[in-house]
Amino acid sequence: MERAAFALAGAVARELRARRGRVVGGVVVLLVGPGNNGGDALHAGAVLRRRGVDVLALALADRVHDEGRAALLAAGGRVLVVDDVDIAVDRARGADVLVDGILGIGARAGGLTGGAGALVERLDASRDEGAPVVVAVDTPSGIGVDDGSVSGPVLRADRTVTFGGSKPGLVLPPAAHLTGVLEVVDLGLALPDEPAVVRLEDRDAAALWPVPGPDAHKYTRGVVGVVAGARRYPGAAVLATSAAVLAGVGMVRYLGDVGDLVVARRPEVVVGPGRVQAWVFGPGVSPDDAAQRRRIEHAFEGVLHRGEPAVVDAGALELLPEHVPTHVVLTPHAGELARLLSDRGHRVTRAEVEHHPLRSARLAHELTGATVLLKGHVTLVVGAGGAVYAQAAAPAWLATAGAGDVLAGLLGAMLAGRADDVVEDPTLTAAVAAAAALVHGRAADVSNPGGPVTARGVALALPETVRALLADA
């Protein structure tokens, strides 16, 4: 606990210095619950008090960590047992930094309740430019530590200082949006051999990228077939094929009614059937489009009988066979996933998927056999063997029309380039899908750093994004 306390105190001191220009004279209020997180907060408060910080602990339980309480009092800090929420809110709002040590990983399900819940709800509702900086101990109190769920009030953290290793709930949505800057403190603890959740970094994506060798030709580099778009939605076909071309696949074949428009934008694309190593189904396709429906259903025969990998997006999700191999990747947003689950006998709403995205994606994987990529600000991928990936590299600007079409084409290109590998190793598909999500987000940043992006701009940024990714690996 001493190492954790010193690390936590250091993080709070940095926030004080950033806010005030110095540590001495700062005001820190600790929100303290009954467990070890409260103990860490109290011990950190004692360290800060010895550095000249005014430290007040608001005890939100009948009993708090005895040694931590004694350490803070011995250092000259104060402890106030909260029996009036109004007084506690007033004291907390007067701080430079609030330290959230209410609940930790051992807390029971159900989140914050009672006086602690009321206090947190009041404080979070009053966050403004002058509000205290919030530093969470290990996890923001009230989040689902194992699945990132949020079932009650949570005080949004500006920084979370977690110990030993990151917890799943800190990187899984929706709780991932509440953690702020994540700081992991190594305490020398033994960690599990297999992580519960994986977040790929650039070097991981580079290692998964299908880089051509000196003897490569267009067929060994992969051929992706794209069944997308319609006269009503021609842009989806253009975007999906463009992304596949610009991601560096050996060849793109297009099947659909807007081949003339596709070739006008991307003359590299071949229109018509032929040899294919992976598929992209669905961008811009309506399930009532009889011609595209027939094309997709016919192509699914190859997926099921010849083992071709595939990306199933948008309108094609409603045409999905009952069960498919793991090297088929579904790419729904929350609303589409809710419809897919409901159509298979599990009635859920979009809001329920958004509140419990991991549970929903896991259920879709169990029902279909497919790898599931649930799109969002934090993109989740669930695959073979229970593998879970959470990618959060995408800027919020990427929530724009056509971005999903670009992701589908990009992922299809990657699957075509790694077709033999993903068929041979069922666990690899989820990693490739997560890498595609990472590259998609990076390309959005490259296309217009810090500003608005378009789907076309993201597609055009793919060559530079991939070049930089491989150069830095």
The 10s digit of each residue's pLDDT in 178-195 is 999 999 988 776 667 677
Question: To the nearest whole percent, how much of the chain has pLDDT over 70?
Answer: 97
Supply the pLDDT for residue 210.
Answer: 92
What is the DSSP secondary structure assignment for residue 373, as one 8-state letter?
E
* pTM summary value: 0.88
Per-residue pLDDT averaged across 190-208, rounded?
A: 86
Residue 243 labelled as part of a binding site: no
Listed residue (26, 91, 24) closest to 58, CA to CA: 91
3-state secondary structure of 111: coil
Output phi, psi for 308, to 5 deg. -75, 135
Per-residue pLDDT averaged across 445-458, rounded?
A: 95
The four Cα atoms 208, 210, 214, 220 give a dihedral, to 10 degrees, of 140
Q: Indicate the CATH number for domain 202-472.
A: 3.40.1190.20
Q: How far apart are CA 159 and CA 137, in angstroms?
A: 9
Q: How confident is the model at residue 212 (pLDDT cuts 50, 70, 90)?
A: confident
How many angstroms separate the first and last alpha carbons of the chain? 37
Supply the pLDDT for residue 406.
Answer: 98
Cis peptide preceding 174, ω within 30 of 0: yes
**Which amino acid would we find at residue 3?**
R
| Residue 437: pLDDT over 80 | yes
More confident position, 269 or 188: 269
Residue 222 labelled as part of a binding site: no
Residue 327 labelled as part of a binding site: no
**Which amino acid would we find at residue 147?**
D
Q: Exposed/middle/buried for 67, CB within 10 Å: 0-12, 13-18, 19+?
A: exposed
Contact 31, 58 (CB under 8 A): yes
**Which amino acid would we find at residue 400?**
T
Residue 405 labelled as part of a binding site: yes
Residue 186 labelled as part of a binding site: no
Q: How far apart are CA 261 and CA 247, in angstroms?
A: 20
Residue 404 labelled as part of a binding site: yes
Q: How far apart are CA 12 and CA 57, in angstroms?
A: 14
> Pairing relation of β-strands 278-281 and 270-271?
unpaired
- Beta-bridge mates of residue 116: none
Contact 358, 172 (CB under 8 A): yes
Residue 346 labelled as part of a binding site: no
Supply the pLDDT for residue 128.
Answer: 74
| Residue 389: pLDDT over 60 | yes
Beta carbons within 10 angstroms of residue 457's beta carbon: 16
Structure-block tokens of residue 127: 């966050």
Helix residue spans in 21-167 (DSSP H): 36-49, 66-74, 85-93, 114-125
The 10s digit of each residue's pLDDT in 98-118 is 999 998 665 554 577 788 888
Q: How far apart are CA 339 and CA 350, in angstroms?
A: 8
Give me the sheet containing 181-185, strands edge to edge.
Answer: 78-81, 54-59, 27-32, 97-101, 133-137, 159-163, 181-185
Output phi, psi for 371, to 5 deg. -75, 135
Per-residue pLDDT averaged across 262-277, rounded?
A: 94
| Residue 349: pLDDT over 90 | yes
* 2-185 shares its CATH topology with 202-472: no
Question: To the nearest whole percent, how much of the chain has pLDDT over 90?
Answer: 74
Residue 402 labelled as part of a binding site: no
Residue 376 labelled as part of a binding site: yes
Mean residue pLDDT of the chain comes to 92
Each domain of the chain, given as residue ranges in start order, spans 2-185, 202-472
Output phi, psi for 157, to 5 deg. -90, 145
CATH classification of 2-185 is 3.40.640.10, yes or no? Answer: no
Can you spell out the DSSP letters for 200-269? --HHHHHHHS----TT--TTTT-EEEEE---SS-HHHHHHHHHHHHHTT-SEEEEESS-HHHHHHH-TTP
The 10s digit of each residue's pLDDT in 307-336 is 899 999 999 999 999 999 999 999 999 999
Residue 333 labelled as part of a binding site: yes
| Residue 403: pLDDT over 60 | yes
Beta carbons within 10 angstroms of residue 110's beta carbon: 10
Listed residue (356, 375, 355) closest to 437, CA to CA: 375
Supply the pLDDT for residue 83.
Answer: 84
